[in-house]
Amino acid sequence: MNSSEKKRIAVIGAGNVAWHLAPALAAAGHTVTAIYSRSPASREALARLLPAAQPIYSLDLLEMAVEVVLIAVPDAALAGVAAALKVAPGTVVAHTSGSQPLALLQPIQGAHIGVLYPLQTFSKSKPVDFAGVPLLVEAQDAETLRQLEMLAQSISSKAYRVPSEARRQLHLAAVFACNFTNHLLGISEQLLQEANLPKELLQPLIAETIEKASRQDPFSVQTGPAVRGDDNVLQAHLQMLQPYPRYQAIYRQLSQSIQAQASGEANQFNLKDGSPV
Amino acid sequence: MNSSEKKRIAVIGAGNVAWHLAPALAAAGHTVTAIYSRSPASREALARLLPAAQPIYSLDLLEMAVEVVLIAVPDAALAGVAAALKVAPGTVVAHTSGSQPLALLQPIQGAHIGVLYPLQTFSKSKPVDFAGVPLLVEAQDAETLRQLEMLAQSISSKAYRVPSEARRQLHLAAVFACNFTNHLLGISEQLLQEANLPKELLQPLIAETIEKASRQDPFSVQTGPAVRGDDNVLQAHLQMLQPYPRYQAIYRQLSQSIQAQASGEANQFNLKDGSPV
């Protein structure tokens, strides 16, 4: 990237996404000039990680001499920021949300609006190698799209152009694959703890499950008592879950869905686990 | 292992577990003398992988001169095998099931009964490195336990003594962490396909989710719209799922459970995703 592609950038938000995105941009040679957050501790802590950034306590004080403003705030706060934000005409303004449409930024007068969505789960306590994080870009016009794509490519090898509708669907898919999976792993860990079994016991099986699902259609490699139609085991498990009505309901729902999936696709259905003796 | 610890072993079953376990035993220096299966194709295919094994079509023809009989059949077939099997007095007979109790083998006259449960998901098409597979052993008497433990240690570095009750709970935990997770990954993949998005897009996020859950309590690192209480996103997702009532029901159930988990543990609850602006 030549120096004309190095941007002056303001970041709105100092949460988990901003915490990783702003330093990655600075490390790639861009200048992050300002961090805006209502939380003094958050904006000051993040600004300290950036050589050229000022912590800003009011959107009105945001420095105008930036080419890009990135809005990395919770979804629910996005409309409020869009209503309050004033920028110089021609400034690229992008939000970083997976679930919110590009159009949410239309109230910002004179802005060239877009989206730069890093598809990863971030915690402040855990470093992330941005180079491997998929970045999804979208914009209202071709030139803004090009600018955001270059910005994305300066910090990651995986930039994709994805419009709002598909990004919304992707976000939904991520809720199933990640948020819900994490909850299941939590239930599993609790069950292990109650039997005084070490968490490590299940790790190889979990790793293999994920690996296998990444190479093949997960529906076609489904294993376990539900897809086998092993009613004895299903009943025994539901019995064991009686102290946990919530987990019991999840068990029933997912087992039914596994069975419906398998029987609805009769031509793909195969008894995967155990051949006949 | 010295030669007195090398065993002569018969394997009952030629499904996914037997398919990987029998060759691992042969590779460790044991002699697998017989493979019994009702399916001619299965027993012959597996016996061909083993230098000393005969394919056997009737339990009555099982060679008596073995020290160990491993029963690797579907759970539902286990009781039938236990009722029909005759062995020489003192033979170690173990099943390989995660969910079935040791006591299921009690009908086998004169046998020293036990369990050798490999905690992994197996497909015939995919090689497995047994050295990293946790093997759970249990037996009715101390000497049989020692024998099965030595057998387990000869093929894996991870042998654990786990009694039936805890193994049952472990199996239930595995259904949540693996079978159910796989189904969610299938739903996620279907949603991606419908938006013409490549499966690879979600892989880094899935990998990070699993990695994070392995290091911390999954409940404490839960992210997503449910734990954030982001009702707008939850409603939008339920709306998008209207063509799939089954997925909609799963979405609702898991979101409710995530919220109940978070609010029930008020002192651990923390807004993990996005700080206040």
What is the reported pLDDT for B46? 96
What is the reported pLDDT for A62? 76
* Of A206-220, B106-120, B259-273, minimum mean pLDDT range: B259-273
Query: Who among A81, A189, A205 is closest to B277 (CB)?
Result: A81
Question: Is the pLDDT score of A201 beyond 50?
Answer: yes
What is the reported pLDDT for B270? 35
Question: Is the pLDDT score of B213 beyond 80?
Answer: yes
What is the reported pLDDT for B128? 85
pLDDT tens sequence across B166-178: 999 999 999 999 9
Burial per residue of B30-56, b for 16 or more beta-carbon CB atoms within 10 angstroms, e otherwise: bbbbbbbbbbeebbebbbeebeebbbb
CA distance A9 to B20: 56
Question: Is the pLDDT score of B94 beyond 50?
Answer: yes
CB contact under 8 A, B191 and A172: yes
Q: What confidence category does residue A264 fall into, taking pLDDT thresholds of 50, 70 and 90? A: confident
Mean pLDDT for A153-167 is 94
Question: Is the pLDDT score of A269 beyond 70?
Answer: no
CB contact under 8 A, B222 and A126: no
Contacts of B96 in chain A (CB under 8 A): none
Query: Who among B73, B168, B240 is closest to A274 (CB)?
Result: B73
Q: What confidence category does residue A55 fall into, taking pLDDT thresholds of 50, 70 and 90? A: very high
CB contact under 8 A, B225 and A99: yes
CB contact under 8 A, B172 and A201: no
Contacts of A275 in chain B (CB under 8 A): 13-16, 37, 39, 42
Q: Tell me how many degrees the CA angle B224-B263-A174 measures, rounded to the nearest 5.
A: 15
Query: Who among B181, B185, B275 is closest to A39 (CB)?
Result: B275
Q: What confidence category does residue A121 fall into, taking pLDDT thresholds of 50, 70 and 90? A: confident
Contacts of B127 in chain A (CB under 8 A): none
Query: Who among A16, A227, A275 is closest to B39 (CB)?
Result: A275
Question: Is the pLDDT score of A217 beyond 50?
Answer: yes
Preferred mutation among A75, A128, A172, A248 to probe B, highest tally of B CBs within 10 A: A172
pLDDT tens sequence across B52-91: 999 999 888 776 789 999 999 988 899 999 999 999 999 9
What is the reported pLDDT for A60? 83
Using DSSP's 3-state secondary structure scheme, residue B134 falls into coil
CB contact under 8 A, A37 and B99: no
CB B119 within 8 A of CB B50: no
CB contact under 8 A, A276 and B132: no
CB contact under 8 A, A197 and B162: yes
Query: Who among A183, A207, A257 is closest to B222 (CB)?
Result: A183
pLDDT tens sequence across B17-48: 999 999 999 999 999 999 999 999 999 999 99
Q: What confidence category does residue A4 fall into, taking pLDDT thresholds of 50, 70 and 90? A: low
CB contact under 8 A, A221 and B182: yes
How many A×B Cβ pairs under 8 Å? 388
How many angstroms separate the CA of residue A100 from the nearest CA in chain B?
Answer: 9
Residue A17: left (phi > 0), alpha (psi -120 to 50), or beta?
Answer: alpha
CB A63 within 8 A of CB A87: no
- Among chain B residues, CA nearest to A206: B178
CB contact under 8 A, B210 and A185: yes
CB contact under 8 A, A202 and B170: yes
Preferred mutation among A42, A129, A183, A244 to probe B, highest tally of B CBs within 10 A: A183
How many angstroms separate the CA of residue A3 from the nearest CA in chain B?
Answer: 30
Helical packing angle, A245-264 and A231-240, nearest 10°: 160
Per cent of chain B over pLDDT 70 is 93
Mean pLDDT for A191-212 is 94
CB B192 within 8 A of CB B199: yes
Q: What confidence category does residue A63 fall into, taking pLDDT thresholds of 50, 70 and 90? A: low
Question: Is the pLDDT score of B217 beyond 50?
Answer: yes
CB B151 within 8 A of CB B66: no
Domains of chain B: residue spans and CATH: 3-162 (3.40.50.720), 167-264 (1.10.1040.20)
Using DSSP's 3-state secondary structure scheme, residue A256 falls into helix
What is the reported pLDDT for B83? 95
Q: What confidence category does residue B272 fall into, taking pLDDT thresholds of 50, 70 and 90? A: very low
Mean pLDDT for B115-120 is 94
Q: For all residues of chain A together, what is the average pLDDT?
A: 91
Q: What confidence category does residue B240 fall into, taking pLDDT thresholds of 50, 70 and 90? A: very high
Q: For all residues of chain B together, what is the average pLDDT?
A: 91
Using DSSP's 3-state secondary structure scheme, residue B232 falls into helix
Q: What confidence category does residue B273 fall into, taking pLDDT thresholds of 50, 70 and 90? A: very low
Q: What confidence category does residue A209 fall into, taking pLDDT thresholds of 50, 70 and 90? A: very high
- DSSP-derived pairing of the beta strands A112-118 and B31-36: unpaired
Does the interface predicted TM-score (ipTM) exceed 0.95?
Answer: no
Per cent of chain A over pLDDT 70 is 93
CB contact under 8 A, A188 and B165: no
Query: Who among B178, B258, B277 is closest to A205 (CB)?
Result: B178
How many angstroms separate the CA of residue A110 from the nearest CA in chain B?
Answer: 23
Preferred mutation among B184, B192, B250, B261 to probe A, highest tally of A CBs within 10 A: B184
Contacts of A160 in chain B (CB under 8 A): 201
Query: Who among A75, A241, A257 is closest to B183 (CB)?
Result: A257
Contacts of B183 in chain A (CB under 8 A): 218-219, 222, 254, 257-258, 261
Mean pLDDT for B184-204 is 96
Closest-CA residue to A68 (of A82, A49, A44, A87): A87
DSSP letter, residue B129: -
